[in-house]
A and B are shown apart, each in its own frame.
Chain A
Amino acid sequence: KQEVTQIPAALSVPEGENLVLNCSFTDSAIYNLQWFRQDPGKGLTSLLLIQSSQREQTSGRLNASLDKSSGRSTLYIAASQPGDSATYLCAVTPRGAGGTSYGKLTFGQGTILTVHP
């Protein structure tokens, strides 16, 4: 059974710091990995999607890497801002037998990020 772990559970940094969020998964048989952010009481905002054949994706100050063989992904946030404060979730789409896992995201527990001025 696929399990996704995110470390650390919470992180507090001063504004302007570069930071890294970690995500690990137990089964390398995945279609893709997606990073989301969630503000309190709100829906999820998709940040980056990395297909299993890709090594990294970039969007603005965000860079996500994927090492499928070791079951790890990192989300790098450059020059953090107070507006980056949110919960960050990673999720994988497992490659199940017979296509039964299509669309079934498996989420980590999230990292709560606080960026203080």
Chain B
Amino acid sequence: DTEVTQTPKHLVMGMTNKKSLKCEQHMGHRAMYWYKQKAKKPPELMFVYSYEKLSINESVPSRFSPECPNSSLLNLHLHALQPEDSALYLCASSRTDRRDEQYFGPGTRLTVT
């Protein structure tokens, strides 16, 4: 099973709302990632967690707050977002964060109004 699941599939939120995106994998992978993808562009890395610790933060604004409660779960907490944050948010995982194949989830389509 090489499945990464993400919930919700779609999310519409106002600029004052607080919401969370959830990602889950049961492949025993110890690296998990958040990417942001705008239309007709490749994914852009936001965060990398390795063994439940944040190892890379690509200078993402603090209105995005990642959390890795355990080795199977990855959350992205959203607060006070801007309309330009509307995008497809993708989660991925890999066995480790070193030269291993990354598996992506289906994404959450986020619209900020």
Interface residues of A (CB under 8 A from B): 31-32, 34, 36, 41-46, 49, 51-52, 89, 91, 93, 99-100, 102-105, 107-110
Contacts and interface: CB of A to CB of B under 8 A. Distances in A.
Interface stretch (B59-67, B69-77, B97-105): B97-105
A108 B6 CA distance: 24
Given A31-B99, A43-B90, A46-B104, A103 B55 contact: yes
B109 interface: yes
Interface residues of B, number: 28
Given A43-B90, A109-B42, 11 more contacts: A32-B99, A34-B102, A42-B106, A43-B107, A51-B99, A52-B99, A91-B42, A99-B98, A107-B43, A109-B41, A110-B42
Contacts, number: 65
Interface in B1-16: 2, 4, 6
Nearest to A109: B42
A96 to B, nearest CB: 11
Interface of B: 2, 4, 6, 31, 33, 41-43, 45, 48, 50, 55-56, 88, 90, 92, 94, 97-99, 101-107, 109
6 contacts: A36-B104, A41-B107, A43-B6, A43-B90, A102-B97, A103-B50
A108 B42 contact: yes
